[in-house]
Amino acid sequence: MPNTGDSLAKLRQVVSTLLGPEGCPWDRKQTPESLCDYVIEEAHELVEAIRAGDEHGAMEELGDVLFLLCFLGALYEEKGSFTLADSIDAIAAKMIRRHPHVFEGLNVENQEELLRNWERIKRQEKDNKEGIFASLPRGLPPLLKAYRLGSKAARHRFTWEDDAAQAAQMGREWQELQEAVASGDQERVEAEFGDYLFCVVEYGRRLGVKANSALEGANARFLARFEAMEALAAERGLNTADFRLADWDALWDEVKKREK
């Protein structure tokens, strides 16, 4: 098995060559800002491979993400800002500091206490001057942001006492949404729909389900089933342009039965 340190050194040398005087003109024009979209894109591709269970794909995509991280480190080092080693040392120190139950023998009774301790240490690092949500990236996708908001609030005991109370709140939010629909006020409908979604995300979090991942799974299942329906229709010489709902439903039921 290759030595990780040697492989990382080789990758850093590749990046250094690309950015050198005889390197690639495109690479030499890049800045940390210009690489942001590539980092997001490659991270999405890595997540897609992981969720698909594609281990070879995950290996390749992990390399793509790592290349960009080394690239960014080299650009900041060129500017004299910091080095990749600085980043590695900083994250190692941070993880040791935030895991006293592992590195210092601190006793924690359960995961809830562990997470509250994590939040306490984070705030101490900022001298308790920042708000609870200050470290939450503003650019997170909405479903993921809703999950993180609920998670962080719960770590500070701002949440429902139990799952039954939270489920009851979800029922109230649904009722308010229906009342908004009946009112015909579209702005109110959107606001109440957002409140209901937020509550559903929190319900999932309490069940150990991440809404973003769950919805991605639902999207994938829907797409796979729809493509299977289209394939069946093509095999039978059926024109889906002429389909009514009953035609689609019949194929949908058939596809679902084949999954079992």
Local confidence band at 1 (pLDDT 50, 70, 90 cut-offs): low
CATH number of 142-209: 1.10.287
What digits encode the pLDDT tens for the residues 39-83?
999 999 999 999 889 999 999 999 999 999 999 999 999 999 999
- Which is nearest to 50 in space by CA: 213, 188, 208, 200? 213
Cβ atoms of residues 10 and 2 within 8 Å = no
The superfamily in CATH containing domain 4-96 is MazG-like (1.10.287.1080)
What digits encode the pLDDT tens for the residues 163-206?
999 999 999 999 999 999 999 999 999 999 999 999 999 999 99
- Segment 126-147 mean pLDDT: 83
How far is residue 29's CA from residue 59's CA, in Å, rounded to a whole number?
A: 28
Task: Provide the residue type at 86 as one letter.
Answer: D
Local confidence band at 129 (pLDDT 50, 70, 90 cut-offs): low
Query: What's the pLDDT at 135?
Result: 79
How far is residue 238's CA from residue 63's CA, in Å, rounded to a whole number?
A: 45
Domain boundaries, the chain: 4-96, 142-209, 213-259
Local confidence band at 128 (pLDDT 50, 70, 90 cut-offs): low
Cβ atoms of residues 173 and 228 within 8 Å = no
How far is residue 132's CA from residue 155's CA, in Å, rounded to a whole number?
A: 10
Query: What's the pLDDT at 208?
Result: 92
Equal fold, 4-96 vs 142-209: yes
